[in-house]
């Protein structure tokens, strides 16, 4: 008569797994597994706008504030702000103006949370910035922000 083997295999595997839980050093601590990202380094994020708007949304203000908090204690060496617009609506001139207002709005908010204005490079791409590989990209209703930072010495 053959004995069922499955219960024996399951019992053996269970014992092996439980033995690993009590084995010192078998598992790493959280601090060994999770490392904190370097606070002082390049940060890149995008600020999105409603159509034909240059006013910051609540989410945009939160992203700017969070980035400023992450960079406390760092030397900010460069802040690039590029305003973009969606070319599906408006003239080239109006899209350029909208891109400039968006970039200025973000730059003012960044300065307002303590980033050094002398490090700023503010630009706008207007309707030209809305075209990627010959196709209009509606997600161009945004401002791209790149902040370069290093630890204080």
Mean pLDDT score across all residues of the chain: 78
DSSP 25: T
Q: Residue 95's Cα: distance from chain center in Å?
A: 25
Please list, residue by residue across 14-23, b when 16 or more beta carbons sit within 10 angstroms of its beta carbon and e when fewer do: eeeeeeeeee
Contact call for residues 150 and 40 (beta carbons, < 8 A): yes
Per-residue pLDDT of 92-138, as tens digits, reads 888 899 999 999 999 999 999 999 988 899 998 876 765 666 666 65
Residue 126: predicted pLDDT: 79
DSSP SS3 for 16: helix
Q: Tell me: the pLDDT tens digits for 20-79?
A: 445 555 555 555 444 445 678 899 999 989 888 999 999 999 999 999 999 988 999 999
Of the chain, the percentage scoring pLDDT greater than 70 comes to 67
Residue 131 and residue 152: Cα distance in Å, rounded?
39
Rg (CA), the chain: 26
- Bridge partners for 75 per DSSP: 150
Structural domains of the chain ordered from first start: 43-151 (3.30.1330.60)
Look at residue 34 in the predicted model and tell me its pLDDT. 43
pLDDT score, position 24: 53
pLDDT (mean) for 131-151: 78
């Amino acid at each position: 008569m053959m004995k069922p083997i499955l219960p024996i295999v399951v019992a053996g595997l269970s014992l092996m797994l439980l033995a690993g839980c009590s084995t010192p050093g078998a598992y790493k601590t959280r601090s060994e597994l999770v490392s904190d990202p370097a606070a002082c380094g390049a940060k890149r994020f995008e600020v999105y706008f409603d159509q034909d708007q240059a006013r910051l949304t609540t989410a945009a203000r939160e992203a700017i504030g969070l980035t400023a908090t992450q960079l406390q204690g760092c030397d900010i060496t460069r802040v690039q702000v590029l305003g973009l617009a969606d070319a599906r609506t408006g003239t080239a001139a109006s899209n350029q103006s909208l891109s400039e207002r968006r970039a200025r709005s973000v730059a003012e908010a960044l300065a307002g949370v303590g980033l050094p204005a002398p490090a700023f490079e503010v630009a706008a791409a207007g309707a030209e910035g809305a075209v990627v590989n010959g196709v209009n990209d509606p997600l161009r209703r945004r401002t791209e922000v790149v902040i370069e930072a290093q630890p204080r010495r």
